[in-house]
Amino acid sequence: MLGWLGPVLGLGLTIEVAKSGQIIDHDMMTNNIAGLMTVLITAFGSHHESKKKAERVGAAWQQKRDKLAAGEVLPAKHHCPHWLEIENGAFVVLKERERLVKMIFANRLKGIGKETTARQFNELMKTDPAFNTWGRGKRKAKYWTGTYVGRILNNPAVMGYWQPHTHPRGGERKPIGEPVMIYPQLIDRATFDKANDGRLDAQMRAQGKGRAVSNLFGPKARCGRCGAKMDAMGSARVRINKKGEKHQHYFLYCSGNKRTKTCDHSLGWSYQRIETPLLDALLERAMDDQHFAVDDGCAELEMAVFAARRDAKDAAARLKRALMVANNIDDEEAAEAQAVIVGERGKESTAAKAALEQAEENLATARGKVSPAEHVRRVSEIRGMMENDDPEERYQARSRAKAALQDIVERADFDDRRGIVTVRLLGEMAVIHIWRNGRVGYLDLVHPQRKSVGASSEQQEVIDRFIRRNQKAA
C-alpha cells in the first residue's frame, strides 16, 4: 500500500478516510507515522474481513451448486428460465412459451433474423396473448426485441443446462464451474449448435433487416471519391410497363453527398445495371456447397460437424478454466492435483479438435461428390429463384447469393468520374470492372504460388475454396 501511497501524496493530493474522517496527506507521511500506521492497520483488517466474507459466501454458493448437481430439491427463490416455473420443487414447462422458444429456433434455421422474429411476435401479440412478452412482476418489457430473441437463442437452458456465474463488484460476469443439467430439454443439442454456428451468424449479418434482401452489396459498396457507404434509395419493387418490360426505380447514392453533404459524388447508379453483370461474372465462382440447401445425405453429417464444433469449444473453455484455477493456487499439494486436471483437460481438448477435423473431412467428402456440371445447374436454379414471384423462395435465393458475395467480395468502389464500378475480391484474387451501361470485364489475379497477405484463417478458408472452385471449372 505504501508503494503507491507515497508517490500519490508526493504530488500534493489529500485523501480522506470515509468512515473515520481522517486526513492522509504528505504531512502525515513525514510527521505522524503513528497516525498513518493506525490507518494502515484498519485498512488491512477491513480487507481481511471482506476477503473472509467473500470466501464464506462463495463456499455457500458452491454448496448450493453441488446440491443441484446431485438432484436435490431446488430452493423456491431459484430464478429459472421464463418458459419454466417451479411447483413442489420440480420444474414445469409452460406449453405456450415452449411453442415460442421452438418458433424462435425454427425461424433461425430458416434464415429469419432476430429482428424479424421480434417484429413477427409483436404483430401476433396484438391478437394472441400467447405471444405476450415475458417477465416477473413489474419487470416486463412492452415489446419483443431482437436482443432478447438473441439471448434465448444463445441460452443453453433450452437444452436443459444451468450455467452458474460469478459477478464480482466492478468486474465482468463470468461462468464458473461446469454446466449442470437440471431443466427440462426443449431444444436438442444439434439444433442448438446449428442455430448458434458462427457461419450462420455471418450469413444473417449479411442479409440485413427484413425479408427483401434487395441490396446484395450491403456495406461493401463504397464511394470512389470519399470512401463513404453507397446507400440504396428508391423502391426495389419490380414493376412492369405497358410494353411488358420489367424495371425498378432503385439507385445507389453516396451517403457522403446525400446525408452529410461532404462529397461531390451526386450521381445515382441504377442498381439493376450493376447487380445483373456482377451475378453473371461472379455468382458461379462465389457459390460453394455450403451456400446450398443440405440434402438428406449430408444433413446428418452437417449436424455431426455442428456437435463436434460445440464439443471442441466446450473442451477449450474447460481447459482455460482449469488453467485459471491452477494459476491462482499457492498450496503445493493442491497445485499438483490441479496440474493433473489441467493435463486431462488438455487431452480432452486435443481429442475434441481431432474429432472436429474428422467430422469436417467427412462432410467435405460427401459434398465433394457434386460435379462441376451439377454445380452450374444449382447456380442457375438459384438465379431463377431470385426473380420468383413467391416471396419466400425469392428471399431464400437472394439471401444465399448475398452470403456468397459477401464472403468473397472485399470492396466495390463506385467511380463517378470514369463511370466504372471496380469490384475487388478477397485477397486480391480478381478484379471486376462494371461500366454504367452494364458492360463487364473480369481480371483473374490468382496464381498457384501466390499467398494472401494479412488474411485471417476464416478469410483464407474462403480464398482456398474459391481457388478450388475455379480450378474445377477450368
Distance from C-alpha of 136 to C-alpha of 390, rounded to nearest angstrom:
41
Per-residue pLDDT, 445 = 57
Distance from C-alpha of 204 to C-alpha of 194, rounded to nearest angstrom:
13
365 CB neighbour count, 10 Å cutoff: 10
Query: In the chain, what is the straight-line distance between the N-terminal and C-terminal CA atoms, in Å?
Result: 71
Cell of 15: 485523501
Amino acid at 104: I
CA–CA distance from 96 to each of 89, 101, 128, 131, 152 (Å)? Answer: 21, 9, 11, 8, 15
Per-residue pLDDT, 422 = 93
Q: Give me the residues paired with residue 108 across strands.
A: none
Burial of 57 (0-12, 13-18, 19+ CB in 10 A): exposed
Residue 216's φ and ψ, nearest 5 degrees, are -75, -20
**CA 257 to chain centroid:** 32
Strands 230-234 and 250-254 turn out to be: antiparallel
Amino acid at 238: V
Q: Give me the residues paired with residue 84 across strands.
A: 93
Distance from C-alpha of 99 to C-alpha of 382, rounded to nearest angstrom:
32
Per-residue pLDDT, 206 = 47
Whole-model pTM: value is 0.54
Cell of 218: 450491403
CA-nearest of 365, 362, 318 to 342 is: 318
275 CB neighbour count, 10 Å cutoff: 20
Per-residue pLDDT, 269 = 92
Split the chain (474 residues) into runs of 10 and give each run's mean pLDDT: 70 76 75 76 74 72 68 65 84 92 90 85 92 80 90 91 75 73 88 76 52 79 94 82 76 92 93 89 75 62 79 84 78 79 89 85 68 73 81 80 83 93 83 86 61 53 60 53
**H or E, element range at 435:** strand 430-435
User: 197: helix, coil or strand?
Assistant: coil
CA–CA distance from 278 to each of 219, 281, 332, 402, 431 (Å)? Answer: 16, 5, 65, 12, 11
Per-residue pLDDT, 180 = 79
Distance from C-alpha of 269 to C-alpha of 282, rounded to nearest angstrom:
20
